Amino acid sequence: MAYLDVNNICVSYGRNQALNNISMKAEKGQIVTVIGANGAGKSTLINAISGVLRYSGKISFDGKPLPYPAYKAACSGVIQIPEGRKIFPNISVAENLILGGYALRDKSQFESRLQAVYELFPVLKDRKEQAGGSLSGGEQQMLAISRGLMSNPSLLLLDEPSLGLAPLVIRDVFNLIKTVNAQGVTVILVEQNAKQALELADWAYVLENGVFVAEGSGEDLLADDVVRRAYLGVRDAT
């Protein structure tokens, strides 16, 4: 059985079915990407896996059923970095990171996690007393990812981390994801920014209206005609 095994899940909002029999897998240490347009159901998928939304079907993680609801999933090492960052604007950067460490099972690791995060993002160390809301968009995304990393997750679910960021900053974010992955964290990356996300991916899925319409290795999908036209067409111009 795969490390993360999503098996035939369905999610609906009232009468509106947002995910329809979705199955996907991720092996330990992989980056698996899901691309899709606005409203395809990407956030819904991430929220189902991380236990925010109720779903039918089965999800197993590391050989066991994935705990529900969200806080239990987080405590078992499945951490979501939500769309729109959702850092806490009214408390300091350092306090954001303290809350990030809430799910650490071994609290004595806290200091070393903090040092690791500060090493990854020296800017956060400089700004640690500043309110989270006073950071720039890019810094906030870094803080959101750092906050997620504080609990030493095994599986990181990223929902459109490039949203609203300048191209240069996007590059930094994607590089960071690679670094984190290289340290052994399995990553599920959901993106509209298809090209860069696919370049990163060991395996990728294309989501349309709540169903997967294609899957393959990142390279294969980058070469695929349909995907090129639908997701890379205009944006590929760069």
Partner 1 sequence: MLVQQIINGLSLGSVYALMAVGFALVFSILKFSNFSHGSVIMLSAYLGLWFSNRFDVGLFPTLLVCMIGGGTIAVIIEKIGFKPIRDKNGPLIYLFVSSIAISMFLQYLMTALLGGRFFMYRPLLKSSSWRFAGITIPIVNLAMLAASIVALVFLLYVLYRTTIGIAIRAAATDLSTPNLLGININMLISITFFISGALAGIAGLFLGMSLNVYPQLGGLVLKAFVATVVGGLGSLGGAVIAAFLLGLLETMITAYIGGAVTPMVSFTVMILFLLFKPEGVAGLLGLSSGSATQKL
Ligand X SMILES: Nc1ncnc2c1ncn2[C@@H]1O[C@H](COP(=O)(O)OP(=O)(O)OP(=O)(O)O)[C@@H](O)[C@H]1O
> Which residues lie near partner 1 (CB under 8 A)?
50, 52, 69-71, 74-75, 79-80, 82, 86, 88-91, 95-96, 98-100, 102-103, 147-148, 151
Indicate whether 43 belongs to the interface with Mg ion (CB under 5 A). yes
| Interaction partner, residue 161 (partner 1, Mg ion, ligand X, none; CB < 5-8 Å by kind) | none
Helices in 103-166 by DSSP H: which ranges?
A: 110-120, 122-126, 137-149
Give residue number: closest CB to Mg ion. Answer: 43
Using CB under 5 A as the binding criterion, the count of chain residues that bind Mg ion stands at 3
| Interaction partner, residue 71 (ligand X, partner 1, Mg ion, none; CB < 5-8 Å by kind) | partner 1
Indicate whether 44 belongs to the interface with Mg ion (CB under 5 A). no
Q: How far is CA 24 from CA 40, 160, 161, in A?
A: 16, 18, 21
To the nearest whole angstrom, how small is the minimum distance from the Cβ of residue 48 to ligand X?
Answer: 9
Contact criterion met (CB below 8 Å) for 150 and 104: yes
The rounded distance, in Å, linking the Cα atoms of 141 and 119 is 16
Contact criterion met (CB below 8 Å) for 212 and 181: no
To the nearest whole angstrom, how small is the minimum distance from the Cβ of residue 184 to partner 1?
Answer: 20
Nearer to partner 1, 22 or 103 (CB): 103
The rounded distance, in Å, linking the Cα atoms of 147 and 211 is 31
Binding map of ligand X across residues 77-116, x = CB under 6 A, - = no contact: ------x---------------------------------
The rounded distance, in Å, linking the Cα atoms of 222 and 216 is 9
Distance of CA 125 to the CA centre of its chain: 23
Contact criterion met (CB below 8 Å) for 189 and 18: no
Contact criterion met (CB below 8 Å) for 122 and 139: no
Nearer to ligand X, 16 or 238 (CB): 16
User: Which parts of 1-60 interact with ligand X (CB under 6 A)?
Assistant: 13, 16, 18, 36, 38-44
To the nearest whole angstrom, how small is the minimum distance from the Cβ of residue 235 to Mg ion?
Answer: 17
To the nearest whole angstrom, how small is the minimum distance from the Cβ of residue 82 to Mg ion?
Answer: 9
Region binding Mg ion by CB under 5 A among candidate stretches 14-22, 27-35, 63-71, 76-84: 76-84
To the nearest whole angstrom, how small is the minimum distance from the Cβ of residue 40 to Mg ion?
Answer: 8
The rounded distance, in Å, linking the Cα atoms of 131 and 221 is 41
Of 193, 111, 191, 121, the residue nearest 152 (C-alpha): 111
Q: Which residues bind ligand X (CB under 6 A)?
A: 13, 16, 18, 36, 38-44, 83, 192
